[in-house]
Structure 1
Amino acid sequence: MINNLIWDFDGTLFDTYPQMVQAFTKALNDLDIDSVEIDEHDIYVVMRQHSVGAALKKYAAFYGINESELAEINAQYQAEMVTASKPFIGSKELLDFALDHDGGNYLVTHRNEQAKTLLANYGLLDKFSGFVTSANDFPRKPKPDSLNWLKQTYDLVSNQTMMIGDRQLDVEAGNNANVNTALFDVDHTILHTGNPDIRVTSLPELLDF
């Protein structure tokens, strides 16, 4: 039985992308890019299919603006705006499932300690046994270092453990760490999946896996 769940945060546990896209748009506005020139859906797709870093690189080049400046302003807005995000439907039930079946929940995110604050705001922090955030300074996914550290630290058995994420790099990180993988693709945005063991559009679907 799979009873140990390794969670991504953005777009998996919490629906943060609306706020992330808004923050990115405001950062572009601050750098004198008019809203009529900005395609928010395209920004979202780049973030989902690739990363925020890819979006920074793409749009800095497209608009001829400084990438570092865009990144700094975006980070400031994102830290403020992402506090309005909420957990996805079914996240609490899946977290409880792991605990009710003598397993555990673990977080691997590129976000900073703010992820823990948001979990605490919704009473979810104590459902986790271990965390990897940007403060831990592991190589970024899809490198498996952070997942392997969790496996070694908490004695997680590979075939009883699943990585859940919303992007190809999450799936590849799980595959590289030799655990089960689930792609949570709520709106069928992901074209290259990384070959997950299961692909779902809602978290409750994983209860039947």
Structure 2
Amino acid sequence: MTVHFIWDFDGTLAESHQAIREVLTLLYKHYDLPFDEDWVMAFIIQKSIGDLLQKLAREEGLSAKDLLAFFNREQEARDDMIRAMPGAKAVLEKTSQNGIKHYVLTHKGATTSPVLERLGIAAYFEEVVTAANGFKRKPDPEALHYLIEKYQMTKAHTYYIGDRPLDQQAAENAGIQSLNLSCPSNHINQHIDDLMAILDLLPDMLDASTESLESLTVRKQQEEGK
């Protein structure tokens, strides 16, 4: 059985924290809103930027669509600030050598692919799904279901790698496994301290997929022998 890794982008594959901080500071200033930086940054880690903008729209009588357009435009203008997370390329290289297939699923827009190119990691990914694809936002599993069905992924050997509770929730809603940089380990999630920790988990992942394939082969042989 093939193992599939679906990656979140901001905060997981890419270090974009400073760019996001700058954009949110500018957004609050543009709309003349008081900016509690510590609260805002904690909120988007626990929830999401989309949730923050929806909250602002409700409480301040603003257009959520306009807020999101402002954020996306200013974030894309700072794409040059984005750097690959430590260990990202090494993990992609090692896991690809072991037959693992990679994908990106992010709320970031259409400039995601050019950023991946600039970071030198675009070639590792089978497909990059962004906000431009029009799927419902996480934790809705719609985009994950699209990838699972298109690439005929076995859910037991498919992992969504992220950095927020939102990412774990999306994985759980899709019925797949989760690797997460912030959430504690539980029945569907494995906490990782950094991306290099994935390489420590790799042997068990590959063994489990091999055992599943062997079981499937034996079952088919038994059925054919009847």
TM-score normalized with structure 1 length:
0.84
Map of 1:61-100 to 2, 5 A cutoff?
A: 64=60, 66-68=62-64, 69-100=66-97
Could you tell me which residue of structure 1 aligns to residue 174 of structure 2? 177
Aligned residue number for residue 194 of structure 2: 202
Q: Percent identity?
A: 28
Q: Shift in Å at residue 160 of structure 1?
A: 2.0
CA distance in 2, matches of 1:112, 1:124: 17
> How many correspondences in the alignment?
200
Structure-1 residue corresponding to 2:125 = 128
In structure 1, what is the equivalent of residue 139 of structure 2? 142
Contact 2:2 2:101 in 1 (8 A): no
1:170 and 1:94 mapped to 2: Cα distance? Answer: 19
What's the RMSD between the two structures over aligned residues? 2.4
Higher helix share: 2
Give 2:163's match in structure 1, choosing from 162, 166, 171.
Answer: 166
Please list every run of 5 or more consecutive structure 1 residues that lacks an aligned counterpart in the other structure.
none
Alpha-carbon deviation of 1:196? Answer: 4.4
The answer for the alignment partner of 2:150 in structure 1 is 153
Aligned match of 2:15 = 15
Q: Using the alignment, how far apart are the partners of 2:188 and 2:85 within structure 1?
A: 20
Check whether the contact 1:183–1:199 (CA below 8 A) recurs between aligned residues.
yes
2:52 paired with 1:55: yes
* Partner SS for 1:56: helix
Distance in 2 of aligned mates of 1:195 and 1:42: 30
Q: 1:110 aligns with which of 92, 102, 107?
A: 107
How big is each residue's C-alpha offset from its partner over 1:56-79, in whole Å with a ceiling of 9 and x where there is no partner? Answer: 2344566x4634444443332212
Amino acid at match of 1:39: D
Aligned-residue offset at 1:194: 8.2
- C-alpha spacing 1:74/1:151, structure 2 compared with 1 (3 Å): closer
- Contact 1:20–1:78, Cα closer than 8 Å, also in 2: yes
The two structures have a TM-score, normalised by structure 2, of 0.79
CA distance in 2, matches of 1:28, 1:194: 37
The structure number with the bigger radius of gyration is 2
